[in-house]
């Protein structure tokens, strides 16, 4: 008997450990395999996008108007919208669009690319390729591990065209010696954004805009930013605040700028840098007549030349209404359409553009930009993007699926698997048990929609293939070009029918689609804590970015007093000390947030003016990695750190098997006001309006300057999609965000109630409030039990 | 609240619960809910909460089952593209859904069992006339004598009671058989039984040919008799003295009543019980049906005739032209027809007959095959759902009884399914480790909880699984045969009271050993696979655990079918009856009858003055009692009359410090002797009830599971050693069994 009990116990333990094994595999593999989302050029290892001044760059970021330099002549056009780009793994491809004016397309002559690669990359088997509009313009061996190499190639005449041009960069890399899957993480090539650009024929004048359509050709700088320098007569008391906020949105949408940054100045610059658009916002055309000796006022045209030959946009009118009307002309026709916008504009970041999924859909890989391809390495990755509406509400229970059509040419050994990460987080692991010659059709990989969010989602599919050949690792194995795996473009992504319900607080929906503000033809109410130009600029940067993602431009009403928005959806922007306490209280922020002040104080010691390009030195080690390490240690030690005992072990098991915590089951509804952690530069927080069921979104920092710098940092394409929850604090010190998820959300229906949708909404709500489902069901069952009893005592024999 | 209001409330709340249960919520939310339900249900079970709590308990369990069904349907089926997985997956899925459907019907039936019925007291003068039918086919004389004596001993006005022995074993067809042996045996039997009947004052009736088996025999009885009511007792079902007084009283007050059924109480163990040695401590397998299902069917006016131990109204049976005979379970078929004609039935929960059940596995399976085939025939010929005249509840009840008998098919699928993955790597159930715990384990646990709460006192954990497995192998062909050819099966009398003269494995047992070997080999393969392919270790362990469960049950079954020695011809019932013993030399001693069967009794003897026997050496006329000595006992009968002396012969003597125990065989020569034996053995139904109550204890889920595992381990060993012993015949067989 005793023996039986022991063997049963052993079996039980074995079952449980095996079950957890399955789950444990996921995070581990995720940490290794979750390669960056397209935005996340940081990835693992060294930060590629360090913002250090680089004297060799063609244009120095801190170049001021009037200062000399190569860049003033604007003979170059940056190519990397994400800033420095790291291509890692055995095959990595990125594709996006750049926009050129007709002049630029005609006069561009060459392409310069600067890269450095990891020492592990074997030059004989590794190639770096660039295609423009589908035609190869560069194909070189990756062979520069000791120093940055600059490659210059000519661009064939006629290849570029006015408007969108597709850039496609691919790195195919193999390890020098190792054949392990792990070794593929040592393979990378970094492309230096500051030295990678198009060059133009001498005498060409890139940057000259001739029509509103050319605004997209402003492009971006070496960091991927587009600076909108708005020149106003009196920046200190921005009487034109509303116009600035409206204009910023209009330009962001019209220019298809993925990361617009607004700066406000009172002086007309003598020229503009690449990626900068100077806009003159004048109450009357005459006002600028005197700004320059040779500045002709163009009464009808809306452009004028700056001293360096680049073009500035002029928005002038006698009355605010007239200015407003002129700004409205900038807004593209399709955006003015009052019907709800269900498009995303990702051309500046991805090619092909992201598909927008409004409900159940099956999207073939071919359509999503993943072509049929063969692969000879051991770790295959590819990624696709799909956009979801702002009221996407199925995160807690939904399941998308990848249906894979693939072929395997070699035996897959145990430990081979497909891993899917969504928005950079591991979502699914599927062990592979394949024999050579096996073809799979529509093999499903279930992806919990937990990490999906409104707006653009990046889904990365990786295949980790362990083979006998690699285990032997005879010399030259990595040189082999025989394909081991083929992925067919008939594979597809299946999005299930999902619940549609707007929720607040939900900063993810706000950042991705401007919810609940950017949704109908109404007015965007903005409360500014002060009239400083930095505050206005910060507000404008925020609005420009949200507007770009929402694909909608909202008229703005800057309210003078908080009482005016007591019963309104509103944005409240300002330094923490200057915002009314009620704004902080309503959004769950503490009145006293010392970390914000600290960050603001250390930000610009003694600097009076705000330079939008103020160098922000990031720590030497990858901060994301540091956070990862901390989280990994927290995971390893459990929530109580070193708390021993079976309960802790049980919690640990719950978390690893079900991603379930005790806190999730028994949530605390009364959370204390939030005070951001050290090193926080800026905080976004969402909550209730003072009265009624409206949403307030607060953006605050230690000072107006910190606000301006903070929002610029936070809106970077790599950071902005991480904005989520009811509070998001951007920690400049670690370059991470701290997200507080709401314990309770309010529903804001976007569509008339519909039974099927309500069911899915209920499912999601009950799934995200774990104990509520149990309570509701227990109650309903008790009621049904009683009702059954009432019936049963009356029917049949008693 | 009136009926309509309650119904409306029920329907609307049920809709809400169904909608909630069918929400596609996350696995975490389901897990939290499952845990909450398990806790609430465990508490309710611990407090044995009844009344409204019972319904809450059931609804909670049903909600988890509904969630399981929803999840199983939407998330676990392999893609239709993989036909080699999809087809077996659909089979497994259908089997599960079928089982859940039958569980649903069953839950409806047992939702709120009615209070036990109390028989109305009728003045003796107003009692209706009763014909007692004892149909027989091949039962031996002693058994019939005991039954007839017990029937004769029933308390009822003599002028209103006629007892009939309906002998189908010596029909003209048989006595005139061309086979000499059959013919002579039949003639002798007719002669013998006629004389027996004469002695007892019982009418003997046989007929020309054995047409329509038992139903035909009963119809023949009907044709020759006239009483208002008919009581039917199988030849091996001896009624208690108060049988008619506890049942007849229902009829005068309810003119539409066609049946009063009483439970079949068995004084011997079925072969499984006997081999597992659980008869004395564990509730018998049949008790769940007799104590709970029949009683619950009575709520819905759907208690049906079980072939014996029942009283029927002649008018009702005449209404449908006699007992039905299109299926081989004429009893249930007749009830279905009568219910459909608007007649009603009643069930009395007290055991009022003592019966014998088959003692060998072969006969046990024969009986079950008949039930299975007969019930499936009813489902095929008279599908209750579409049978007009029935209430909805009655339709459900009959469907539940009929569908139950498809269990060999579903059980076989559950047995094979894990092998498909473990041996052939087929994915028939797409599930991750976490989902398995949250959905499958919680579903299984809740099923066990519900089973234990609803049937725990009559059915211990895992016993259903064991019995179904044990029957599955041989019922499977029977089920397929009746499905293929519904008219083929014919009635065969279940042989009972067949003595096992030596321990042996029934020949029928071979498939069990083969299956056990396959399951054990699969266990070995799964252990090897865990280490060989660690990437699927979680899945292999999960499915391997399922297979292990099957293996444990299969192992237990090995012991259950390995017959134990059974030397005593008839089973002894423990009783306590004061008696006087007269030795051959005429000395009168005082004693107590401590156990009795229809062939003999055990008596504890003290001295006539009540003093313990000195030195433990009993003296009878100066001579010690010795085996072979004759003696006789007298005792007061239940009716109050003083009985005639009952002659006996001593078989064994065991001396104790205060008394001596003698085992005796009856030497019955006349009807009065049989009346005495029947009075001793069967007259007092209270003692059966007491015995039954003693066994009907709910062992609980935990303890029951541990008990079952221990037993399974022991029985596996016992079954395997039987096999070894059989393969080496020179070894002492008895040794192997010990």
Please give the pLDDT value at position A15: 42
Question: Which sequence spans correspond to the domains of chain A?
Answer: 76-200, 222-336, 365-497, 758-797
- Which H or E element spans position A528? strand A524-528
Is residue A1 predicted with pLDDT exceeding 50? Answer: no
Nearest-CB residue to B545 (from A11, A770, A789): A11
All residues of chain A having their beta carbon less than 8 Å from the beta carbon of residue B533 are 414, 433
C-alpha to C-alpha distance for B488 and B465, rounded to whole angstroms = 29
C-alpha to C-alpha distance for A100 and A103, rounded to whole angstroms = 8
**Cis, bond preceding A314 (omega within 30 deg of 0):** no
Q: How close B14 comes to chain A (CA, Å)? A: 6
Between strands B229-232 and B130-136, the pairing is: parallel
Please give the pLDDT value at position A234: 78
Distance of CA B245 to the CA centre of its chain: 25
Nearest-CB residue to B25 (from A763, A792, A798): A763
Q: Count Cβ–Cβ pairs < 8 Å, chain A vs chain B.
A: 196
Residue in A781, A790, A792, A794 to test binding to B, most B beta-carbons within 10 Å: A781
C-alpha to C-alpha distance for A396 and B562, rounded to whole angstroms = 54
**Residue pLDDT, tens place only, A330-369:** 888 777 766 655 678 888 888 888 999 988 999 999 999 8
Question: Which sequence spans correspond to the domains of chain B?
Answer: 3-111+406-563, 124-357, 573-688
A662 in reach of chain B (CB within 8 A): no
Lowest-confidence segment of A28-32, A248-252, A623-627, B21-25 by average pLDDT: A28-32
Tokens representing residue B523 in the block: 């266990």
C-alpha to C-alpha distance for A605 and A600, rounded to whole angstroms = 9
Please give the pLDDT value at position A521: 65
C-alpha to C-alpha distance for B664 and B582, rounded to whole angstroms = 13
Percent of chain B with pLDDT over 90: 54
Summarize the confidence of residues A386-412 as an average pLDDT. Answer: 91
Please give the pLDDT value at position A335: 77
CB contact under 8 A, B53 and A657: no
pLDDT range class, residue A285, cuts 50, 70, 90: low
- Closest-CA residue of chain B to A428: B432
Please give the pLDDT value at position B493: 56
- For residue B444, CA distances in Å to A626, B27, B69, B513 come to 45, 16, 12, 27
Neighbours of A755 (CB within 10 A): 7
CB contact under 8 A, A19 and B17: no
Q: What 3-state DSSP class applies to A33?
A: helix
All residues of chain A having their beta carbon less than 8 Å from the beta carbon of residue B40 are 778
| Residue with more model confidence, B240 or A203 | B240
Q: Which of A122, A15, A367 is nearest to B548 (CA)?
A: A15
Please give the pLDDT value at position A38: 32
Lowest-confidence segment of A165-169, A624-628, A783-787, B80-84 by average pLDDT: A624-628
Neighbours of A270 (CB within 10 A): 16
Architecture of domain A222-336: 2-Layer Sandwich (3.30)
All residues of chain B having their beta carbon less than 8 Å from the beta carbon of residue A788 are 10, 55, 58-59, 111
Is residue B524 predicted with pLDDT exceeding 90? Answer: yes
Lowest-confidence segment of A259-273, A455-469, B601-615 by average pLDDT: B601-615
All residues of chain B having their beta carbon less than 8 Å from the beta carbon of residue A444 are 79
The 3 state secondary structure assigned to A238-296 is: CCCHHHHHHHHHHHHHHHCCCCEEEEEECCCCCCCCCCEEEEEEECCHHHHCCCCCCCC
Instruction: State the DSSP code for B623.
Output: B
Is residue B413 predicted with pLDDT exceeding 90? Answer: yes
A:430-459 residues touching chain B, CB 8 A cutoff: 431-433, 441-444
The structure tokens 């998308």 sit at A400
Q: What 3-state DSSP class applies to A379?
A: strand
Report ipTM for this prediction: 0.90
- Cβ(A407)–Cβ(A486) under 8 Å? yes
C-alpha to C-alpha distance for A691 and A570, rounded to whole angstroms = 12
Phi-psi region of A525 (alpha: psi -120 to 50; beta: other; left: phi over 0): beta
Distance of CA B734 to the CA centre of its chain: 29
All residues of chain A having their beta carbon less than 8 Å from the beta carbon of residue B75 are 399
Is residue B299 predicted with pLDDT exceeding 50? Answer: yes
Instruction: State the DSSP code for B635.
Output: -
**Cis, bond preceding A505 (omega within 30 deg of 0):** yes
Q: Which fold has domain B573-688?
A: Thrombin, subunit H (2.40.10)
Instruction: State the DSSP code for B642.
Output: B
Helices (H) and strands (E) in chain A, counts: 16, 35
C-alpha to C-alpha distance for B372 and B364, rounded to whole angstroms = 12
Nearest-CB residue to A777 (from B9, B63, B114): B63
Mean pLDDT of chain A, nearest integer: 82
A289 in reach of chain B (CB within 8 A): no
Q: How close B737 comes to chain A (CA, Å)? A: 19
DSSP A581-609: HHHHHHTTB-S--HHHHHHHHHHSTT--S
C-alpha to C-alpha distance for B371 and B405, rounded to whole angstroms = 8
Nearest-CB residue to B17 (from A4, A19, A784): A784
CB contact under 8 A, A18 and B538: yes
- Cβ(A209)–Cβ(A313) under 8 Å? yes
Is residue B254 predicted with pLDDT exceeding 70? Answer: yes
Q: Say what angle helices B180-200 and B141-152 make with each other, to 10 degrees.
A: 30
**Residue pLDDT, tens place only, B530-544:** 888 777 788 888 899
Please give the pLDDT value at position B727: 62
- Cβ(A199)–Cβ(A78) under 8 Å? no
- Closest-CA residue of chain A to B707: A1
C-alpha to C-alpha distance for B479 and A28, rounded to whole angstroms = 52
All residues of chain A having their beta carbon less than 8 Å from the beta carbon of residue B9 are 787, 790
Domain at A76-200, CATH from 2.60.120.260, 3.90.1300.10, 3.40.50.11540, 3.40.50.740: 2.60.120.260
C-alpha to C-alpha distance for A368 and A350, rounded to whole angstroms = 10
- In this structure, chain B runs to a length of 738
Q: Which of A192, A194, A151, A191 is nearest to A63 (CA)?
A: A194
- Cβ(A180)–Cβ(A470) under 8 Å? yes
pLDDT range class, residue A637, cuts 50, 70, 90: low
CB contact under 8 A, B535 and A414: yes
A796 in reach of chain B (CB within 8 A): yes
Active site residues of B: 168, 331
C-alpha to C-alpha distance for A378 and A381, rounded to whole angstroms = 10
Q: Which of B169, B162, B172, B263 is nearest to B222 (CA)?
A: B162
- Cβ(B512)–Cβ(B561) under 8 Å? yes
Nearest-CB residue to B6 (from A20, A774, A791): A791
A28 in reach of chain B (CB within 8 A): no
Counting beta carbons within 10 angstroms of the beta carbon of residue A20, is it exposed (0 to 12), middle (13 to 18) or buried (19 or more)?
Answer: middle
A794 in reach of chain B (CB within 8 A): yes
Tokens representing residue A500 in the block: 């549609």
Please give the pLDDT value at position A72: 36
Mean pLDDT of chain B, nearest integer: 87
A762 in reach of chain B (CB within 8 A): yes
**Residue pLDDT, tens place only, A86-110:** 999 999 999 999 999 998 999 999 9
C-alpha to C-alpha distance for B10 and A786, rounded to whole angstroms = 9
C-alpha to C-alpha distance for B455 and A742, rounded to whole angstroms = 47
Strand residues in B479-572 grouped as ranges (E) = 504-505, 562-563
Handedness of CA B369, B309, B228, B172 (dihedral sign): positive
Q: How close B611 comes to chain A (CA, Å)? A: 47
- In this structure, chain A runs to a length of 798
C-alpha to C-alpha distance for A71 and A487, rounded to whole angstroms = 44
State phi, psi for A725 to the nearest 5 degrees: 75, -155
Phi-psi region of A346 (alpha: psi -120 to 50; beta: other; left: phi over 0): alpha
Q: Walk across the sheet containing B353-355 and list its strands.
A: B237-239, B353-355, B265-266
Q: Read off the pTM.
A: 0.84
Q: Which residues contact A127 (CB under 8 A, 6 or more apart)?
A: A139, A140, A141, A142, A170, A171, A172
Q: How close A472 comes to chain B (CA, Å)? A: 19
Nearest-CB residue to B434 (from A23, A773, A782): A23
C-alpha to C-alpha distance for B619 and B83, rounded to whole angstroms = 83
Residue in A2, A791, A793, A794 to test binding to B, most B beta-carbons within 10 Å: A791
- Closest-CA residue of chain A to B532: A414
| A76-200 and A365-497, same CATH topology | yes
Q: How close B222 comes to chain A (CA, Å)? A: 31
Architecture of domain A365-497: Sandwich (2.60)
A:476-515 residues touching chain B, CB 8 A cutoff: none
The structure tokens 């039935």 sit at B345
Nearest-CB residue to B27 (from A398, A417, A658): A658
Domain at B124-357, CATH from 3.30.420.40, 3.30.360.10, 3.90.550.10, 3.40.50.720: 3.90.550.10
Residue in B62, B79, B538 to test binding to A, most A beta-carbons within 10 Å: B538
Q: How close A797 comes to chain B (CA, Å)? A: 4
């Amino acid at each position: 008997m005793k023996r039986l009990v022991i063997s049963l116990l052993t079996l039980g333990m074995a079952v449980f450990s095996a079950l957890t094994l399955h789950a444990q595999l996921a995070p581990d593999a995720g940490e290794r395999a979750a390669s960056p989302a397209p935005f996340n050029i940081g990835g693992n290892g060294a930060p590629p996008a360090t913002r250090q001044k680089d004297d060799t760059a063609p244009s120095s970021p801190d170049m001021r108007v009037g200062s000399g330099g190569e860049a003033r002549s604007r003979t170059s056009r940056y190519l990397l919208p994400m800033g420095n780009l790291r291509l890692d793994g055995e095959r990595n491809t990125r594709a996006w669009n750049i926009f050129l004016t007709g002049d630029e397309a005609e006069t561009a002559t060459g392409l310069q690319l600067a890269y450095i690669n990891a020492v592990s990359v074997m030059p004989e088997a590794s190639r770096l390729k660039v295609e423009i509009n589908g035609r190869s313009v560069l194909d070189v061996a990756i062979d520069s591990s000791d120093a940055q190499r600059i490659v210059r190639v000519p661009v064939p005449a006629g290849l570029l065209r006015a408007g969108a041009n597709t850039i496609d960069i691919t790195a195919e890399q193999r390890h020098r010696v190792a054949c392990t899957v792990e070794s593929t993480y040592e393979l990378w090539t970094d492309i230096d954004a500051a030295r990678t650009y198009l060059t133009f024929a001498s005498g060409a004048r890139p940057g000259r805009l001739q029509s509103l359509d050319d605004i997209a050709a402003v492009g971006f700088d070496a960091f991927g930013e587009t600076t909108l320098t708005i020149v106003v007569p009196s920046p200190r008391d921005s009487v034109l605040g509303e116009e600035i906020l409206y204009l910023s949105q209009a330009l962001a949408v019209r220019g298809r700028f993925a990361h617009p940054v607004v700066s406000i100045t009172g002086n007309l610059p003598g020229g503009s840098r690449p990626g900068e658009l100077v806009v003159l916002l004048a109450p009357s055309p005459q006002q600028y007549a005197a700004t320059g000796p040779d500045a002709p006022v163009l009464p009808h045209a809306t452009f004028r030349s700056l001293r360096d030959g680049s073009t500035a946009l002029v928005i002038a009118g006698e009355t605010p209404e007239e200015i407003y009307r002129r700004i409205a002309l900038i807004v593209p026709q399709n955006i003015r359409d009052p019907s709800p916008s269900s498009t995303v504009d990702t051309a500046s970041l991805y090619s092909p553009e992201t598909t927008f999924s409004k409900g159940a859909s099956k999207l073939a890989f071919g359509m999503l930009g993943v072509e049929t391809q063969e692969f000879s390495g051991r770790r295959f990755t590819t990624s696709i993007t799909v956009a979801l509406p702002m009221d996407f509400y199925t995160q807690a229970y939904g399941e998308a699926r990848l249906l894979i059509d693939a072929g395997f040419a070699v035996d897959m050994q145990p430990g081979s698997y497909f891993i899917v990460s969504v928005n950079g987080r591991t979502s699914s692991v599927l062990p592979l048990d394949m024999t050579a010659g096996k073809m799979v059709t529509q093999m499903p990989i279930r992806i919990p929609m937990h990490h999906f969010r409104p707006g653009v989602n990046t889904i990365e599919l990786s295949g980790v293939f362990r083979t006998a050949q690699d285990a032997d690792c005879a010399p030259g194995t990595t040189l082999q070009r025989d394909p081991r795996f083929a992925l067919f473009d008939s594979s597809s992504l299946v999005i299930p029918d999902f619940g549609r319900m707007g929720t607040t607080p939900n900063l993810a929906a706000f950042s991705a689609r401007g919810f609940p503000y950017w949704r109908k033809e109404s007015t965007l109410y903005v409360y500014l804590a002060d009239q400083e130009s930095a505050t206005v600029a910060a507000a404008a940067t925020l609005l420009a970015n949200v507007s770009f993602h929402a694909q909608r431009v909202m008229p703005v009403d800057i309210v003078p007093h908080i009482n005016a928005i007591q019963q309104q959806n509103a944005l409240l922007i300002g330094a923490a000390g200057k915002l009314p306490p009620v704004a902080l209280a309503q959004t769950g922020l503490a009145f006293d947030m010392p970390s914000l002040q600290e960050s603001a104080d250390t930000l610009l010691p003694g600097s009076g003016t705000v330079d939008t390009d103020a160098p922000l030195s990031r720590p030497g080690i990858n901060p994301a990695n540091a956070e990862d390490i901390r989280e990994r240690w927290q995971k390893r030690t459990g929530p109580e750190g070193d708390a021993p005992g079976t309960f802790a072990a049980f919690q640990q098991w719950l978390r690893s098997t079900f991603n379930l915590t005790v806190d999730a089951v028994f949530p605390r509804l009364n959370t204390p006001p939030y005070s951001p952690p050290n090193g926080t530069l800026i905080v976004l927080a969402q909550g209730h309006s003072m009265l009624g069921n409206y949403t307030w979104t607060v953006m605050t920092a230690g000072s107006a300057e910190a606000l301006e710098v903070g929002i610029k940092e936070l809106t970077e394409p790599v950071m902005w999609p991480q904005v989520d929850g009811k509070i998001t604090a951007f920690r400049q010190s670690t370059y991470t965000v701290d997200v507080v998820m709401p314990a309770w959300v309010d529903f804001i229906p976007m569509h008339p109630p519909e039974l099927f949708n309500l069911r899915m909404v209920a499912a999601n709500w009950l799934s995200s409030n774990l104990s509520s489902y149990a309570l509701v069901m227990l109650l309903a069952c008790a009621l049904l039990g009683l009702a059954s009893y009432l019936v049963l005592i009356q029917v049949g024999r008693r | 609240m009136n009926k309509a209001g309650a119904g409306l409330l029920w329907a609307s709340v049920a809709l809400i619960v169904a909608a909630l249960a069918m929400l596609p919520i996350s696995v975490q939310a389901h897990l939290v809910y499952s845990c909450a339900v398990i806790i609430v249900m465990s508490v309710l079970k611990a407090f044995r909460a009844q009344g409204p709590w019972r319904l809450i308990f059931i609804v909670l369990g049903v909600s988890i089952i509904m969630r399981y069904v929803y999840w199983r349907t939407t998330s676990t089926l392999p893609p239709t593209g993989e036909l080699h997985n999809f087809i077996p997956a659909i089979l497994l899925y259908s089997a599960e859904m079928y089982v859940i459907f039958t569980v649903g019907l069953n839950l409806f039936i047992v939702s709120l069992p009615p209070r036990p019925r109390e028989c109305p007291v009728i003045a003796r003068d107003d009692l209706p006339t009763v014909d007692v039918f004892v149909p027989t086919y091949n039962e031996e004389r002693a058994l019939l004598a005991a039954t007839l004596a017990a029937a004769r001993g029933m308390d009822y006005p003599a002028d209103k009671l006629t007892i009939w022995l309906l002998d189908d074993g010596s029909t003209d067809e048989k006595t005139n058989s061309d086979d000499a042996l059959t013919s002579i045996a039949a003639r002798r039997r007719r002669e013998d039984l006629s004389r027996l009947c004469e002695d007892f004052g019982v009418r003997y009736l046989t007929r020309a040919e054995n047409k329509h088996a038992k139903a035909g025999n009963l119809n023949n009885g009907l044709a020759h008799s006239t009483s208002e009511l008919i009581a039917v007792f199988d030849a091996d079902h001896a009624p208690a003295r108060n049988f008619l007084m506890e049942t007849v009283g229902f009829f005068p007050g309810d003119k539409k009543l066609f049946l009063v059924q009483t439970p079949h109480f068995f004084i011997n163990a079925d072969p499984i019980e006997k081999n597992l040695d659980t008869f004395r401590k564990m509730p018998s397998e049949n008790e769940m049906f007799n104590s709970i299902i029949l009683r619950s069917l009575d709520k819905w006016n759907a208690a049906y005739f079980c072939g014996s131990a029942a009283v029927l109204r002649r008018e009702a049976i005449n209404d449908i032209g006699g007992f039905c005979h299109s299926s081989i379970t004429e009893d249930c078929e007749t009830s279905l027809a009568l219910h459909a004609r608007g007649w009603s039935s009643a069930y009395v929960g007290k055991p009022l007959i003592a019966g014998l059940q088959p003692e060998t596995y072969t006969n046990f399976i024969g009986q079950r095959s008949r039930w299975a085939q007969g019930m499936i025939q009813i489902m095929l010929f008279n599908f209750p759902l579409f049978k007009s005249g029935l209430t909805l509840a009655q339709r459900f009840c009959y469907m539940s009884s009929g569908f139950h008998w498809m269990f060999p098919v579903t059980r076989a699928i559950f047995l094979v399914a894990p092998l498909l993955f473990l041996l052939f790597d087929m994915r028939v159930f797409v599930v991750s480790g976490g989902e398995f715990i949250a959905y499958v384990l919680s579903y299984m646990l809740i099923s066990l909880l519900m089973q234990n709460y609803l049937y725990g006192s009559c059915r211990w954990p895992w016993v259903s699984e064991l019995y179904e497995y044990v029957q599955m192998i041989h019922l499977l062909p029977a089920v397929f045969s009746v499905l293929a050819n519904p008219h083929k099966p014919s009635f065969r009398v279940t042989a009972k009271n067949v003595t096992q003269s030596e321990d042996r494995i029934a020949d029928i047992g071979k498939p069990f050993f083969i299956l056990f070997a396959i399951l054990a080999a699969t266990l070995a393969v799964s252990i090897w696979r865990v280490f060989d392919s660690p990437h699927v270790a979680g899945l292999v362990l999960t499915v391997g655990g399922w297979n292990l469960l099957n293996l444990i049950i299969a192992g237990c079954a090995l012991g259950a079918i390995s017959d134990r020695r059974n030397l005593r011809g008839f089973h002894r019932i423990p009783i306590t009856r004061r008696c006087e013993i007269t030795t051959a030399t005429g000395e009168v001693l005082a004693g107590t009858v401590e156990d009795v069967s229809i062939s003999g009794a055990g008596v504890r003897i003290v001295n006539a003055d009540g003093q313990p026997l000195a030195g433990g050496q009993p003296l009878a006329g100066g001579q010690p009692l010795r085996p072979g000595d004759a003696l006789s006992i007298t005792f007061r009968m239940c009716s109050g009359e003083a009985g005639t002396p009952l002659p006996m012969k001593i078989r064994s003597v065991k001396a104790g410090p205060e008394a001596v125990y003698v085992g005796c065989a009856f030497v019955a020569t006349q009807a009065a002797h049989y009346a005495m034996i029947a009075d001793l053995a069967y007259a007092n139904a209270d003692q059966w009830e007491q015995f039954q109550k003693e066994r009907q204890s709910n062992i609980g889920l935990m303890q029951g599971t541990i008990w079952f595992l221990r037993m399974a381990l022991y029985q596996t060993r016992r079954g395997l050693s039987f096999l070894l012993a059989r393969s080496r015949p020179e070894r002492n067989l008895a040794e192997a069994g010990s």
